[in-house]
Amino acid sequence: MSTVGTCREISTNPSNPECLHFIRSCLAECSDNHQCFEPTHCPRLPRRLLHIGRQNNDVSLHEPADEHGVYAILSYCWGPTLDNLKTTLATLESFEKTIPYAKLPKTVQDAVVITRKLGLQYLWVDALCIIQDSHSDWEVEASKMGGYYENAFVTIAATSSERAAEGLLKDRVGVLPAKPIFFHEKDGKRVKIMTQQRKRVLWPTPLHDLGPLSSRAWTYQEHALSRRMLHFLESELLFECQEKLISEDGNPIGDNQTSLISHFRRTLGTSPQQLWRFSTTAYSQRNLSFVADKLPALSGVASRLQQATGFHYLAGLWKETLLEDLLWTSWGWEEYDKPPLVLEAPSWSWASIHGGVAFQAETTEVLHIYPRILSVTCQSPPGNPFGKCGHGRIEITGPVLEMELIFNGDVDDFGLPSYKLDYDGGSVPLFSPDTSLDETTFLDRGSGATVRTAKRSSEPPVPIAAKVWCMWFFGTDQKPTEMKSFFDEEPLSLHGIVVGRVSGESEVYSRVGTASARDMQLVSQASEQRISLI
């Protein structure tokens, strides 16, 4: 839809001096009038930085020894990584002398230019400031990355670029030069009005999709933790801080309710657990190039939450709110073609699957909590408690109901597989599988009986008829308001997780989905049982 309004003229290319003036004035106003980045804030510098000299060919890798100072930081999509110049064990020494500017991807070249124009000496860029072929360097630096973004003077964001080769300082799309229109007033006086046709961005929610950068997993924390961000969009420049969200034409495009930076800071202080579930839900829908990065790419946010709450982190969940956190539901897994079975996390963690997740305890009022956690063990890598977690075990006791999981190949109105979860006396109205499912058969060591149970699968759904167990977690008081009139049904008020047995060990289970029911009697139908969840 086209709209007409008044605004300041913007340049057709962000290299023009007016853009630099806009950036400088936003940063100055923020420093002078907001609490976003105190002028006295002089954080410890990252382990390595690009030192930006006076000329483009005067760029090198600098290792500050416990120095404090200010620096800019880049948030961007790599794109095909083969194209990009990286620091490796082989190039480290030569890059400490000089980094060949001409070989840098265009986005990094432009970030160097912008950093210099802002009068800053240092720029942090992941591909160059982390030794890309050193596992130990990557582990340590990945755990600090969130802090690097949080402490940066400004984050330069290549928001609308899919690849590092695209650059920031390039002609804008959909912005035409301003043109004069003349008219005469009643007294014959000639009046000139400048008009400009261009695209305009509105930012209605903290999770608004601003471009390719908004779809990448790593960049969620880069955005949320930054104090001030300069978004290079294809048609304009946006400045975002805790207090302001403004376009280069002088008009606000949102407010501090719609800014992710502002939302993060505000909610961190008031309801950190809500913030974690919000972050996890948003993050889980984003794309990762390497599945092993699932937990590391959110480790900065986790670390910040840990500082705020003092809680204990368990592979994407928190010990202090573990029951609510365990009741995540998978959605959108069908869109992922052959998801790898095992991401590096235990099955009870949302980080063990591809695709989006949501939390049920968030939207309902919990009246009854049924299970009790007996113990938790979770292995996190040395040096990064918020990184990968291959193994974790939860000992839990609660009401468990044996059920039959059936899929005979039918699909529902949306084309999704219709899994049916039957118990003695009926079917559960809602079963949400974590992934595509398959069945597995083994001999129980204790009884010698054959066990046919369900497990997650990375293949398309196949017909199954397998034994599973549902542990009821919560009974809720969901009001039968709009939901009831919409579906003409009673609300789902009982929620639990569904598990399959793991061969070789008795009473060891792995998660396959979640179930919701209306009939609270299903709790009394269940028997109290202790299980090990891995």
Interaction site with Zn ion (CB under 5 A): 30, 34, 36, 241, 243
Q: Are 245 and 255 in contact (CB under 8 A)?
A: yes
User: Checking DSSP bridges between strand 122-124 and strand 72-75, what pairing results, if any?
Assistant: parallel
Write down the least CB distance from residue 160 to Zn ion, Å: 23
Nearest CB to Zn ion, comparing residues 52 and 154: 154
Nearest CB to Zn ion, comparing residues 30 and 201: 30
Give CA 161 to chain center in angstroms.
18
Nearest CB to Zn ion, comparing residues 244 and 294: 244
Write down the least CB distance from residue 28 to Zn ion, Å: 10
Nearest CB to Zn ion, comparing residues 30 and 111: 30
Nearest CB to Zn ion, comparing residues 26 and 454: 26
Write down the least CB distance from residue 29 to Zn ion, Å: 7
Which residue's Cβ lies closest to Zn ion? 241
Distance of alpha carbon 103 from alpha carbon 84, whole angstroms? 8
Q: What string of DSSP letters covers 2-46?
A: ----------SSTTSHHHHHHHHHHHHHHHHH-SSS-TT--PBPP
Distance of alpha carbon 527 from alpha carbon 103, whole angstroms? 66
Q: Are 171 and 235 in contact (CB under 8 A)?
A: no
- The amino acid sitting at 405 is L
Write down the least CB distance from residue 154 to Zn ion, Å: 11
Nearest CB to Zn ion, comparing residues 242 and 284: 242
Burial 433-461 (b: 16+ CB within 10 A, else e): bbbbbbbbeeeeeeeeeeeebbbbbeeeb
Distance of alpha carbon 356 from alpha carbon 288, whole angstroms? 12
Write down the least CB distance from residue 41 to Zn ion, Å: 12
Nearest CB to Zn ion, comparing residues 241 and 357: 241
Nearest CB to Zn ion, comparing residues 245 and 357: 245
Write down the least CB distance from residue 303 to Zn ion, Å: 23
Write down the least CB distance from residue 34 to Zn ion, Å: 3
Write down the least CB distance from residue 261 to Zn ion, Å: 9
Burial 400-431 (b: 16+ CB within 10 A, else e): bbebbbbbeeeeeeeeebebebebeeeebbeb
Write down the least CB distance from residue 30 to Zn ion, Å: 3
Nearest CB to Zn ion, comparing residues 30 and 74: 30
Write down the least CB distance from residue 36 to Zn ion, Å: 3
Write down the least CB distance from residue 246 to Zn ion, Å: 10
DSSP-derived letter for residue 77 is -
Q: What string of DSSP letters covers 164-195?
A: TTS-SSSPPSS-PPPEEEEEE-TT--EEEEEE
Query: Across-strand partners of 433?
Result: 513
CA neighbor of 312 nearest in space, from 390, 222, 389: 389
Q: Are 36 and 242 in contact (CB under 8 A)?
A: yes
Nearest CB to Zn ion, comparing residues 153 and 333: 153
Write down the least CB distance from residue 262 to Zn ion, Å: 9
CA neighbor of 495 nearest in space, from 326, 348, 357, 376: 326
Distance of alpha carbon 383 from alpha carbon 299, whole angstroms? 12
CA neighbor of 308 nearest in space, from 269, 334, 338: 269
Write down the least CB distance from residue 502 to Zn ion, Å: 51
**Sign (positive or negative) of CA dihedral 38, 41, 43, 49:** positive
Nearest CB to Zn ion, comparing residues 34 and 286: 34
Residues in CB range of 330: below 8 A, 6 or more apart: 350, 353, 355, 356, 357, 432, 433, 434, 435, 513, 514
Nearest CB to Zn ion, comparing residues 70 and 389: 70
Nearest CB to Zn ion, comparing residues 241 and 361: 241
Distance of alpha carbon 41 from alpha carbon 31, whole angstroms? 10
Nearest CB to Zn ion, comparing residues 36 and 464: 36
Write down the least CB distance from residue 491 to Zn ion, Å: 43
Residues in CB range of 65: below 8 A, 6 or more apart: none
Phi, psi values for residue 151, rounded to 5°:
-95, -5
